Structure 1
Amino acid sequence: MKSRSVLIAAAIAALSHPTFAEDKILNLYSARHYQTDEALYANFTQQTGIKINRIEGKEDELLERIKNEGANSPADVFLTVDAARLAKAHELGLFAPVVSKSLESRIPAHLRTEDWFSFSTRARVIVYNKAAVKAEDVQNYEDLANPKLKGKFCSRSGSHPYNLSLMASIIAHQGEAKAEELARGMVANFARAPKGGDTDQIKAVSAGECGLTISNTYYVARLLRSTKPEDQKLMAKVGVVWPNQGTTGTHINVSGGGMMKTAPHKEAAVKFLEYLASDQAQRYFADGNNEWPVVDSVKVANPALDSLGKFKADKLPVKNLAMYQTKAQIIFDRAGFN
Structure 2
Amino acid sequence: MRLSLMALALASTAAPALADEINVYSHRQPELIQPLVDAFTAETGITVNVAFVDKGMAERLVAEGDRSPADLVLTVDIARLTQIVDAGVTQAVQSDVLEANIPAALRDENDQWFGLTSRARIVYASKERVADGEVTTYEDLADPKWKGRICIRSGTNDYNVALAAAVIAHHGEEAAKAWLEGVKANLARKPDGGDRDQVKAIAAGECDIAVGNTYYIGQMLNDPEQKEAAEAVRIVFPTFEGDGTHLNVSGVAMTKAAPNRENALKFMEWLSGDEAQRIYAETNHEFPVKPGVAKSELVASWGEFTPDSKPLTEVAKLRPAALKLIEEVNFDG
Give the TM interval when normalised to the shorter protein.
0.7 to 0.9
Q: For each residue in 1:183-213, what CA deviation from the matched residue of structure 2 results, as whole angstroms up to 9, or x when unmatched?
A: 1110111111111111111111122211211
**Residue matched to 2:303:** 309
**Residue matched to 2:4:** none
**Residue matched to 1:29:** 25
CA–CA distance in structure 2, aligned partners of residues 262 and 252 of structure 1 = 30
Matches within 5 A, 1:55-94: 55-94=50-89
For 1:244, give the aligned amino acid. Answer: T
**Residue matched to 1:155:** 152
Aligned-residue identity in percent: 41
The gaps in structure 2 that reach 5 residues or longer are 1-14
CA RMSD of aligned residues (A): 2.3
Matches within 5 A, 1:38-57: 38-52=34-48, 54-57=49-52
- Give the TM-score of the pair, scaled to structure 1: 0.86
Q: For each residue in 1:148-197, what CA deviation from the matched residue of structure 2 results, as whole angstroms up to 9, or x when unmatched?
A: 11111121111000100111112122222221221111011111111111
CA–CA distance in structure 1, aligned partners of residues 284 and 308 of structure 2 = 20
Provide closer, same or farther for how the CA distance between residues 49 and 130 of structure 1 changes in structure 2, counting only shifts above 3 A: closer
Shift of 1:68: 2.3
| Counterpart among 241, 244, 268 of residue 249 in structure 1 | 244
- Give the TM-score of the pair, scaled to structure 2: 0.87
Matches within 5 A, 1:96-245: 96-113=91-108, 114=110, 115-228=112-225, 231-244=226-239
Counting matched residue pairs gives: 316
CA–CA distance in structure 2, aligned partners of residues 140 and 286 of structure 1 = 26
Give the match's secondary structure for 1:56. strand
Looking at CA atoms only, which structure, 1 or 2, has the larger radius of gyration? 1
The gaps in structure 1 that reach 5 residues or longer are 1-16
**Residue matched to 1:10:** none
For 1:142, give the aligned amino acid. Answer: E
CA–CA distance in structure 2, aligned partners of residues 190 and 36 of structure 1 = 31
Q: Are 2:233 and 1:264 equivalent residues in the alignment? A: no
Q: Are 2:276 and 1:281 equivalent residues in the alignment? A: yes
Provide closer, same or farther for how the CA distance between residues 245 and 135 of structure 1 changes in structure 2, counting only shifts above 3 A: farther
Shift of 1:245: 7.5
CA–CA distance in structure 2, aligned partners of residues 315 and 282 of structure 1 = 23
CA–CA distance in structure 2, aligned partners of residues 36 and 213 of structure 1 = 24
CA–CA distance in structure 1, aligned partners of residues 274 and 261 of structure 2 = 22
Shift of 1:46: 4.4
Provide closer, same or farther for how the CA distance between residues 39 and 213 of structure 1 changes in structure 2, counting only shifts above 3 A: closer
